[in-house]
Amino acid sequence: MKLEIVHQRTGKQILNLFDVHPKSTIADIKKEYFRQKPQCYPSRQQFKTDPKGRPLKDEQLLETLEIKNSKLYFKDLGPQIGWKTVISISHNAKYAVFLIEYAGPFFLYPIFYLRPGLIYGEGAASKPYDLAVQLALIGWTIHYGKRLLETLFIHRFSHATMPIGNLAKNCSYYWGFAAFIAYFVNHPLYTSPKYGTNQIYGAFAGFLLMEYGNLVIHCLLRDLRPPGTKERKIPYSNSNPMSILQNFVSCPNYTYEVGTWFFFSVMTQCLAVVIFMFLGLYQMTVWAIGKHRNYKREFKNYPRRKAILPFII
């Protein structure tokens, strides 16, 4: 069969592919496109059967698609970067996206904890540290250390790459808020929470519980997808009590993440953390609603659940 590859936005012909086997996959088409257009490697290619339709998956067979007039619509996603590894020796370069994003806050926060004179003025480091400030450093290190380890050993990404432009945006967000929060929490004039040690220890315990719940869900999601595959299944709770939340919302990992920052804000009683929490809640709600919608579309027997907040959203 013959395929005409046209530009998704303009409809202009890009190239023709001849003698394409009906049992070829979209991944095969991407490889052939890359052979003829070496500047556009497979991970930056996107194909659709309709300009306004859904992107085609790599494993889809041509013979199963409703291709009109033998046309596939192409979109260049732009330079892509990988999720984990840094390989800078070819146009297929992959960068440590999450590692870069999370390593910034992990190493940046302790700098503020040391209260360098350049930031806080001379003698700031000699001022006493409040209990909340000390536990905030421990909690922050646990959170971002956990994220780094999860990226390396737990997460299995459905997409190997992401647009390179997202790296600067994501780093600006995580690194910027790390500095914003760290500056105020570690400030020599920081005021201890209103209700003292009860508030601090209670919130820190809640923080650790949310961190554990988030880890449990990430492990549960990892076990749903065999290594090296893009297989998707309906997630259900397992024997761990912290996974029960999975039966009430589609994205309990986001729920626990929001809970983490809620307790961190209670423990530190810092406005910067509250702002970070609400911005995170908004963004994760958008992601959760999208994932919830995809689950319902893909699985006809998907159970009744909310997206991120039980009984609410």
Residue 7 has pLDDT above 80, yes or no: yes
What angle, rounded to 10 degrees, do the helices at 252-268 and 271-298 form?
A: 170
**Above pLDDT 90, what percent of the chain?**
64
Report the distance separating Cα 220 and Cα 239, nearest Å. 10
Do residues 262 and 275 make contact, with C-beta atoms less than 8 angstroms apart? no
Task: Give the position of tokens 């911005």.
Answer: 279
- Of the chain, the end-to-end C-alpha distance in Å amounts to 47
The predicted-structure confidence for 38-67, as pLDDT tens digits, reads as follows 888 888 889 999 988 889 988 889 989 988
297 CB-side CA count, 13 A: 7
The one-letter code for the residue type at 123 is: G
Q: Which of 7-11, 81-85, 155-159 bottoms out in mean pLDDT, i.e. has the lowest?
A: 81-85
Confidence of residue 252 (pLDDT cuts 50, 70, 90): very high
138 CB-side CA count, 13 A: 13
Domains defined for the chain, CATH in brackets? 3-78 (3.10.20.90), 98-298 (no CATH)
Predicted TM-score (pTM) of this structure: 0.75
Do residues 167 and 95 make contact, with C-beta atoms less than 8 angstroms apart? yes
Report the distance separating Cα 123 and Cα 161, nearest Å. 46
Residue 85 has pLDDT above 60, yes or no: no
The predicted-structure confidence for 124-168, as pLDDT tens digits, reads as follows 999 999 999 999 999 999 999 999 998 888 876 655 566 666 778
Report the distance separating Cα 306 and Cα 265, nearest Å. 25
Tokens of 279: 């911005």
